[in-house]
Amino acid sequence: MNDAIAQTAAVLQQRLAARVPKIAVLLGTGWGPFADAVQDAVTLPYAELPAFPRLAIGGHAGLVKAGRIGNTDVIVLAGRKHSYETGDADGMKGVIRTLAALGVQVLVQTNAAGSLDAQMRPGGLMLISDHINVVQRSPLAGAALDEGGDKRFIDMSTAYCATLRAQARAAAQAAGQPLHEGVYAWVLGPQFETPAEIRMLRLLGADAVGMSTVPETILARHAGLRVLGLSLMTNMAAGMEAETLSHAHTMATAGAASARAVKLLSAVVQALEI
């Protein structure tokens, strides 16, 4: 373990005392208000944690909030370093490895995405069944041997845990919340796609497209965590409708759909059996 990760894990262990959760929830665009639902929270800015990234983009606060959702202990991470900021895929490496060092076993990932499925409208929610790493970059590339050696060649055939997905599906059904399920394609961004790129992604089997999540899933699987992923559709993908895409549009739709997304996420987190 490198020094920054060991130091960060020690700070968190000390601040969380005996309450180290098994579930971490990483909040993407539109999912931020979930952090407000955490009870008895201990809050720390990323800036106080040496292994955590420094964030630049608006709407991503960079806060760790540990506490409870109902009776379930969680550690919530509000804010991601995106690959489009630096061109590197390993911006969240320190975060994921710190979680593993703390004993966290499940990473629940959330994001905003564009929908490639005409039936899945803006505001719709999708459970990620699998992903396509369109970027073909890895947060494990170039890793020092002491960061994994042969362990870098991880199996990705069950990247999104089928057992956790079944629990999430059941929780959504019990809450009366529609939940799609499909394949998430990771593009680098920050530009949105062309209509031709979206047609290509559909041919490849993608149901949703976004600029995050996949690097963290790879890091989490490498660190031995199970992963569950939820996407909030903020728009129909490029070329599917007349609208032009913008970050402001993504943020506005995400804001409008947040309350429902957060309700679903609370139900799902409480239903997970670890």
Residues that bind ligand HPA (CB under 6 A): 112-114, 187, 192-193, 209-211, 234-235, 237, 245, 250
> In 3D, which of 177, 144, 190, 148 has the Cα closest to residue 264?
177
Instruction: Write down the least CB distance from residue 269 to ligand HPA, Å.
Output: 23
Beta-carbon count within 10 A of 173 CB: 12
Cβ-contact 139, 89 below 8 angstroms: yes
Cβ-contact 99, 18 below 8 angstroms: no
Instruction: Write down the least CB distance from residue 186 to ligand HPA, Å.
Output: 9
Which are the contacts of 266, defined by CB distance < 8 A and separation ≥ 6?
34, 37, 69, 70
175 vs 188, beta carbon nearer ligand HPA: 188
90 vs 193, beta carbon nearer ligand HPA: 193
98 vs 212, beta carbon nearer ligand HPA: 212
Q: For tokens 């559709």, what's the residue?
A: 233
Which tokens in the block code for residue 224? 């031995």
Instruction: Write down the least CB distance from residue 162 to ligand HPA, Å.
Output: 26
64 vs 232, beta carbon nearer ligand HPA: 232
Instruction: Write down the least CB distance from residue 113 to ligand HPA, Å.
Output: 5
